[in-house]
Amino acid sequence: MNNYLIGQDRLSVVRIIDILKNQESLALSEESAARIKKCRTYLDEKLERHKSPVYGINTGFGYLQNVKVEDKDLVQLQYNLLLSHACGTGEEVPSEIVKLMLLLKIQSLSYGNSGVQVETVNRLIYFYNHDVLPIIYTQGSLGASGDLAPLAHLALPLIGEGELRFKGKKMSTKEWYDQTELSPLELHSKEGLALINGTQFMTAYGVHILIRAIRLNDFTDVIGALSADAFNCRIDPFKNLSHAIRPHKGQVNTAKRIFDLLKDSEICAEENKQVQDPYSFRCMPQVHGASKDAIDYVLQVFEVEINSVTDNPNIFPDEDEIISAGNFHGQPLALALDFMSIALAELGSISERRTYQLISGQRGLPNFLVKNAGLNSGLMIPQYTAASIASENKQLATPASIDSIVSSNGQEDHVSMGANGATKCLRVMNNVERILSIELLTATQALEFRRPLKTSYELENLIAAYRNVVLPHENDRLLATDIQASISFLKGYTI
């Protein structure tokens, strides 16, 4: 198994995709280990020389910032901090996102500005490499003092508390330690705060969604092109001339992709077409492209964040500075996640409109794409389902970042709500996959009524693979099964 050396290079979303795909293990680079040790040594010496209060190191937290904690109680302070802040509730965070949280927390601690011990970071690395995944809950973070509650649950197994999932089994951390030669750690001053301050909950959700969005972008164009051919659309709107005079990157790329998908289609080459096509077909470059550009912006925001230090206070050994600031505030992510929810929701919205057009009995296609309509309802109701999901996405796309609730007795008086933005953005992503799966089901059925004409080579290959899991619709059958098979196909098919 290959190692990814933390701190040796800048971490990108593409690199994370490779790490996950190749199941690479993690290890600290020599540079990172040296930085972490240097910072910890500086902090210990600083506390020895200066007995004055330093926020988060020898004081209480939040509104309790002015309460000094004695040196003898600093270890207990870390223990109390994790226990008191582990207040998560709701559904469990998916394991793949928990694993990303571990990776991103390790990355953030590797810069040597957080004051943790090397042993603490190496234990997190052990958890990552051996799939020891803490149980974390979706609700509890305001996205401002970092993701306090979720990160507290992430850190609990370090001190032998909380629950985790190991080899598919949920168990108490104490039970897991009984099966190993390891023991819980004793956290030193500042470590508890370094672990629970940070944006790794929001960031992990965002990275997970981005990884899927990168793939979904291409699938959206492919399914849209398939629908366009099934609806006997013109290829003209995808020619480069129109897009060269309005050269938004996403628009230009989408037009080229769809044009390339359709240029060798027998159906597309047919004459006697309508003068214009509905916007949901004709404006795919403009709509899909705008979402692509939005997602590219979100990618830039998150790639800055995953290479940043986001806990508090920040420690600068070379400058002899300990600065209490606000890098834990999730506003950049909250705005980006809201933007991504809107961009993804629009992909679902336009997809549902194409599904509606395909079943409407136009352009030589039968009502609801079934031969014996009346006796059979055909694909009438899958469009209802897509419409319902698209409507839910409109509700979920309402920005979370415009909200704020005062906490910590007024000390934390503006929060980002980025964690709520993250969890609902994942719901939007899942919904868009479902809507596109219904469009795929509908478009492939519509193509059956264009036979013996064929669409393009690439699209015919897609249809052939799809027909291995979903057969043409001859008579009414249990369509929920077809929709679920279509969702699974979309998740697993490589374009």
The DSSP secondary structure of 194-211, one letter per residue, reads: HHHSSSHHHHHHHHHHHH
CATH of the domain at 97: 1.10.275.10
156 in the same domain as 233: no
What pLDDT score was predicted for residue 64?
Answer: 58
User: Do residues 118 and 40 lie in contact, with contact meaning Cβ atoms separated by under 8 Å?
Assistant: yes
- In angstroms, the CA 219 to CA 291 distance is 13
pLDDT of residue 114: 96
Strand, coil or helix: 316? strand
Q: In the chain, which residues have pLDDT < 70?
A: 1-2, 55-56, 60-67, 69
Residues 161 and 234 in one domain: no
In this prediction, residue 56 carries a pLDDT of 65
Contact call for residues 146 and 196 (beta carbons, < 8 A): yes
| Residue 156 and residue 184 in contact, taking contact as beta carbons nearer than 8 Å | no
The domain in which residue 100 lies consists of 3-198
Active-site entry in 4, 42, 55, 466: 55
Strand pairing class (163-166; 89-92): unpaired
Looking at residue 60, its pLDDT comes to: 61
Q: Nearest 5 degrees, angle CA 474-CA 475-CA 479?
A: 100
Q: Distances from the Cα of 232 to the Cαs of 203, 267, 426, 447, 458, in angstroms?
A: 42, 7, 34, 10, 17
Query: Which 8-state DSSP code applies to residue 13?
Result: H
Measured distance CA(100)–CA(353) in Å, rounded:
35
DSSP string, 88-155: -EEEEPPHHHHHHHHHHHHHHHTTS-S---HHHHHHHHHHHHTT-EE--EEE---SBSBSHHHHHHHH
Same domain, 224 and 251: yes
179, 198, 217 - which closes a domain:
198
**β-pair type (3-6, 25-28):** parallel
Tell me, yes or no, whether 165 and 283 share the same domain: no
What pLDDT was estimated at residue 67? 64
Q: What is the pLDDT of residue 72?
A: 79
| Centroid of chain to Cα 447 | 33
Q: Which of 460, 466, 470, 493 is nearest to 261 (CA)?
A: 460
Residues 316 and 435 grouped into a single domain: yes
Please confirm, yes or no, whether 126 is among the known catalytic residues. Answer: no
Residues 216, 189: one domain? Answer: no
Tell whether 237 and 144 lie within a shared domain. Answer: no
pLDDT at residue 178, as a whole number: 97
Buried b / exposed e across 270-284, counting CB within 10 Å, b at 16+? eeeeeeebbebbbbb
**72 and 135 fall within a common domain:** yes
DSSP β-ladder status, 133-134 and 137-139: unpaired
User: What kind and span of H or E run contains 104?
Assistant: helix 95-109
Q: pLDDT per residue over 207-230, tens digit each?
A: 999 999 999 999 999 999 999 999
- Identify the pLDDT of residue 65: 60
User: Is the bond leading into 452 cis (omega within 30 degrees of zero)?
Assistant: yes
**The two structure tokens encoding residue 214:** 């990168």
Give every CB contact of residue 175 below 8 A, 6+ residues apart in sequence. none
Q: H helices then E strands: how many in the chain?
A: 19, 9
Question: Angle 331-292-251 (CA atoms, 0-180°, nearest 5)?
Answer: 135
Q: Give the pLDDT confidence of 36-45 residue by residue, as tens digits.
A: 999 999 999 9
- List the CATH number of the domain containing 477: 1.20.200.10
Tokens read off for 170: 């949920």
Helix (H) or strand (E) holding 26: strand 25-28
Looking at the structure, do residues 140 and 274 belong to the same domain, yes or no?
Answer: no
Helix (H, G, I), strand (E, B) or coil at 307: coil
pLDDT of residue 407: 84
Last residue of one domain, picked from the residues 198, 227, 257: 198
Q: Are residues 210 and 150 in the same domain?
A: no
Same domain, 176 and 41: yes
